[in-house]
Amino acid sequence: MRFISRLLAPFVFVIAYALFRSSMQQKSLKKHTFVMKLFRFCADNGHKKALSVYGHLLHFKGDGVQNRIQGGIYLQQAAEKGDDKAQYQMGRIFENGYEHYFQPDEATALRFYTNAAEQGHQLAIKRLVDTYAQGELGQVADPVKADVWRAKQPAL
């Protein structure tokens, strides 16, 4: 049964995401709850994008600390699977810490920011430029590394 659920997760995610984005589900608690259950099904079956979306929704929009921590856990799973948006958010979470569950950890924050930046995530690249230019996150100021990351930023 677990195998079938994992196979279905990508298809269910497409449906859930389409419903989430549609105006049909707005302002309806019943429909919102249904879509969140679909996202959770997909996330619980290891779908990377579902882990990221569901984690973001819980962590940033969830009610109560427990939902926000659970969202962070889903984000961390998505980040470990390589989702650049989740990696950036986990960098922020580990940089600042969150409640008692996510303790501030500069090395872990730097690892997540670097992973996201290597995939082209612009906010992560900006954070690394600042980190190396100003010597933050336990790093010594290194203008050469700052310039390397600065070169990866798009021209304005």
The reported pLDDT for the residue numbered 16 is 92
Two tokens at 99? 């409640």
| C-alpha closest to that of 119 among 87, 76, 94, 143 | 87
Convert the pLDDT of each residue in 24-68 to its tens digit: 666 788 888 999 999 999 999 999 999 999 999 999 998 899 999
Contacts of 128 (CB under 8 A, 6+ apart): 113, 114, 117, 145, 146, 149
Q: How many CB atoms lie within 10 A of CB 21?
A: 11
User: pLDDT below 70 — which residues of the chain?
Assistant: 24-26, 156
The reported pLDDT for the residue numbered 124 is 97
pTM of the predicted model as reported, rounded to 2 decimal places: 0.91
The reported pLDDT for the residue numbered 29 is 83
